[in-house]
Amino acid sequence: MTPVIQEEPTGCGIAACAALAGLDYDTARTRAAALGIHANDRTLWSQTSHVRALLAHLGIEVLEGEQPFIGWDALPGRALLAIKWRLIDGVPFWHWVVFVREAGESVVLDSKAALRHNVRRDFGRMKPKWFITIGPN
């Protein structure tokens, strides 16, 4: 799996879905728009309903609910992680990233365009709050 770089400052949810589906950002953005999902909608990174709807539309199975982050070893093989979690005027916001464990190696695919490396292994620097388990497909 390869990271997809977000083309909009607030497009991390769309980029994460694109990475999981093996699509480029523009294709995922077009499919999201057909569902009424747009990167400039603050609920894309303050609620889970939009990414869940886009993932379902893209044929990606997700498990119900969010699980609290306990540790990197406790994560499933694929997960959508909420990092950089914060409250703004009492509303939670976060940055979406994708956790992948393949062939014994764990990485985080981070869509932020300003990063030097979008495949991250600096687990101590990331502080996930919770995650959504991505199904086996």
| Structure confidence by residue, pLDDT tens digits, 17-65 | 999 999 999 999 999 999 999 988 877 778 899 999 999 999 999 999 9
Return the number of other C-beta atoms located less than 10 Å from residue 3's C-beta: 23
| Type of residue at 44 | L
SS3 of residue 25 by DSSP: helix
What pLDDT score does 58 carry?
Answer: 96
Q: Which two tokens stand for residue 64?
A: 């119900």
CA 53 vs CA 17, 35, 37, 88: distances in Å: 10, 8, 9, 24
- DSSP 8-state code for residue 7: S
- pLDDT tier at 137 (50, 70, 90 boundaries)? low
Contact 50, 41 (CB under 8 A): yes
- pLDDT tier at 14 (50, 70, 90 boundaries)? very high
Percent of the chain residues past pLDDT 90, beyond the cut = 83
Q: How far apart are CA 94 and CA 46, in angstroms?
A: 7
